[in-house]
Amino acid sequence: MPSLVLLQRDHEASPHLAALIAATPGFRVVGTVHTIDEARPLIARTDPDILVTDLRVQDGPVDGLLGDLRQGGRATRPQVLVTLMSHDDMVLLQALRAGADGYWVHANSPEALISGLQEVARGESPMTPTIARQVLSHFETSPRHALADTMTEALNPLVLTGMERQILQWLAQGYLIDEIAQQWHASVHTVACGIRRVYQKLQFDIRANGLSLTA
């Protein structure tokens, strides 16, 4: 049963969020905090499977915390689901670059939150067309892309594989994950996990700091 830590800015909203998740079979909330200083020892003590966090909490933005959790290219434990006040691609891209694996917008339904948690727990991630275009452009213009050879491409954490590039191209055109899976005769899980690997490469590449936000 995946364990969760909630790091939320709002003292009033966080108990409702915790109750919603706790009432869902298959998830267990092990702690709720409202500051990064509280979150660090809680995460170290409980070693949760998933961190559900706002992008900014009471003592500041969580980018530094997410960066520490992903230090050295670490990709798992905890997985990170960020909660957003609105669906803003620029803000979302910032979160994904920092280390997020998925997202949920507060205005969306509770069912969407549970679905997002289930995706993250399965190792899957979503991606919007705008973000797909940004990420595809970043990797295609990176000097590392020109230097890669096909024999080492699959093992290079700074270069997209052919499969990952194709997924981004379809997403950039507005295809949904299940539509891509049908086109490719693959499972939705395979496509969603491919997106997750792209995020991990983006997070690993320190050159992502130069990524344009002018999609």
Between the alpha carbon of residue 158 and those of residues 135, 147, 152, 192, 207, the distances in Å are 12, 11, 11, 19, 9
**Nearest-10 Cα torsion for 172, 192, 65, 12:** 90
**What pLDDT does residue 207 have?**
41
Weakest-pLDDT range from 77-86, 103-112, 152-161: 152-161
With cut-offs at 50, 70 and 90, classify the pLDDT of residue 206.
very low
**What is the amino acid identity at position 6?**
L
77 within 8 A of 113, measured Cβ to Cβ: no
pLDDT of residue 52: 95
- Other CB atoms within a 10 A radius of the CB of residue 106 amount to 13
pLDDT interval class at 31 (50, 70, 90): very high
- CA 126 centroid distance within chain: 8
Looking up tokens 């891209």 gives 93
Asked if residue 78 has a cis previous peptide bond (ω within 30° of 0), the answer is yes
Is residue 6 helix, strand or coil? strand
The answer to whether 120 and 48 are in contact (CB under 8 A) is no
Q: Is the entire prediction scored with pTM above 0.85?
A: no
Q: Which two tokens stand for residue 129?
A: 């067309």
Q: What is the pLDDT of residue 54?
A: 93
pLDDT at position 39:
96
Cα(190)–Cα(132) distance, integer angstroms: 17
CA dist list (Å): 19 to 30, 72, 195? 12, 34, 30
Residues ≥6 apart with Cβ < 8 Å to 154: 161
Highest mean pLDDT range out of 65-74, 93-102, 139-148, 166-175? Answer: 166-175
47 Cβ neighbours under 8 A, 6+ residues apart: 3, 77, 78
| pLDDT > 60? residue 158 | yes
